Structure 1
Amino acid sequence: MKKIIMVFVLTMVLAGCTVGSSIEQQLADTMNAMNGAEQDYRDAQAELTSLEQSEQQLFNETMKLTQQQQEELTVQVVGLEESLDKRLEKLEQEEASITKAKASSEDLDTILEKADEQVKSDIEKLQTTIGERYESHAEFIISYKELTSLQRQLYEMLGAEGTQLTELTKQVDEVNVQNETVQLNITRFNDLTEQVNHLKDDVFASLQQGE
């Protein structure tokens, strides 16, 4: 089973931004609100990564046990399932945080209504990319939940007496295939995060030049 490592990056802090115009102030407030709303997401990600790493290690240790070590095997499987449940709790925390941030991003509609044509198109691009970023995260959540479902099935097979190696191998393959989908979603989310940060910087640069 491939180790799952989250590498989400968020750098929306508006350091060094000189807020002058009303539009600039409103945009700064909105971006800061989004950034603040995502704090729980960042905290959850750190804890999720730690859980994934320790769970991977426990899984590797469990795979070395045989059916003759049933009592020890059962204890290990319980540990794996408990870790998986904790990961799902962190995933819910992360999802709630992103949902809150998405709600904050809706203030961009009001900002667009007041923006002049000089920066309106840039703000529209920023808004579109922010929307795509949140859609990407929703796709990640779906794929990650599917991954944990397959992993739970794998853990149950590990703890069941009489499970054949061929059955385990097939389930591990399914887990790894789904993990590839998760990794692709993570990559897309990270790429969109970088795009949002670049577009955000461009918009503030344009606003400051127009002062």
Structure 2
Amino acid sequence: MLTGVSAAMAGTVLAGCMGPSPSEQAYEALENVVSKEAPFKKEQEPLLKLEQEENKLYNEIVALGMNDFDKIKKLSAEALELVEDRKARIASEEKSIQASEEAFKDAEEALGKIEEKEAAAEGEELQKLMNDRYDAYGKLAASYKVAAALDEELYQMFQKKDLKLEDLEAHIEKINASYKEVKELNTKFNEYTDQYNKAKKEFYSAADINTGEE
């Protein structure tokens, strides 16, 4: 399951007489990034449920062993609908991450203005981790869409009465390899997300930003 960037517990804005400092501007921008990823986080549970439902249908189809073609055709049609739903949710997820990436540009601009040495260094690390995270997500999303397309082809194959076992086995092998890649990329994305969330706390501490957290 994918993880998202975390928000500070309290959005304390520290604006002085001369207006917000670069660190405070960065804080505002970074918390805005979190809000942009709200739709992304919202899609995680529904996506997992769709995958579980689809897996259940697949197991039912395999258990029938082509002995009840009408039932297999019905179940595979239901599975195709679930794949379409997954693809739509992935598109929504991608849109959210793209909005996050666009919002992060404001954070990078503010982080680049920070002069205090320790906070500036933490800010640079934060930018690197987030850009690595965006790159990892791009690869993950592309891989997931390939896997979903292979799933779609699989259920279309089940719609054919003259389906050959060797063709089915070869296709399932492709699917397994594809989802192995998805799993590896998912792990990498989650690692970057965890590292980023930790680095953001360290930046807030170095920049003396009071977020209300203990």
Q: Which moved more, 1:34-43 or 1:148-157?
A: 148-157
Structure-2 separation of matches of 1:79 and 1:129: 40
Deviation at residue 147 of structure 1 after TM alignment: 0.4
Structure 1 residue 95: Cα displacement: 0.3
Aligned to 1:96: 95
- Calculate the aligned-residue CA RMSD, in Å: 1.7
Q: Which has the higher helix share?
A: 1
Pairing 1:15–2:9 present = yes
- 1:39 alignment partner in structure 2: 38
Structure 2 residue runs of 5 or longer lacking an equivalent are 15-19, 210-214
Residue in 2 that maps onto 1:26: 25
Tell me the TM-score normalized by structure 1: 0.90
CA–CA distance in structure 1, aligned partners of residues 66 and 3 of structure 2: 42
Aligned position for 1:182: 182
**Superimposed CA distance per residue, residues 60-105 of structure 1 (whole angstroms, 9 cap, x where no aligned partner):** 0011124341211111110010000000000000000000000000
Distance 2:50 2:114 in 1: 45
CA distance, structure 1, for counterparts of residue 27 and residue 122 of structure 2: 15
Q: Which amino acid aligns with 1:173?
A: E
Deviation at 1:47, TM superposition (A): 1.0
Matched, 1:85 2:73: no
Query: Is the 1:10–1:193 Cα contact (8 Å) retained in structure 2?
Result: yes
Q: How does 1:90-169 map to 2 (within 5 A)?
A: 90-118=89-117, 119-169=119-169
Deviations 1:27-66 (A, max 9, x none): 2211211111111111112211110011100110011124
So what's the TM-score if we normalise by structure 2? 0.89
Cα distance, 1:11–1:138 mapped onto 2, change above 3 Å: closer
Deviates more, 1:152-161 or 1:49-58: 152-161
- In structure 2, the partner of 1:204 is 204
Quick check: 1:12–1:31 contact (8 Å CA) kept in 2?
no
Q: Which residue is 1:57 aligned to?
A: 56
Q: How many percent of aligned residue pairs carry the same amino acid?
A: 24
Query: How far does residue 124 in structure 1 lie from its aligned partner after superposition?
Result: 1.1
Alpha-carbon offset, residue 180 of structure 1 = 0.5
SS in 1 for 2:7: coil
SS of match in other structure, 2:207: helix
Opposite residue 156 of structure 1, the aligned amino acid is Q
Q: Is 1:193 equivalent to 2:193 in the alignment? A: yes
CA distance in 1, matches of 2:91, 2:12: 36
Contact 1:143–1:181 under 8 Å retained in 2 = yes
Most deviating of 40-49 and 77-86: 40-49
User: Structure 1: any 5+ residue segments left out of the alignment?
Assistant: 1-6
Measure how far apart 1:17 and its partner are. 7.1
Deviation at 1:19, TM superposition (A): 4.8
How far, CA to CA, are the matches of 1:61 and 1:109 in structure 2?
Answer: 50
Q: Which 4+ runs in 1 deviate beyond 4 A? A: 16-19
Give 1:3's aligned residue: none
Q: How many residues align?
A: 203
1:188 is matched by which residue type in structure 2? K
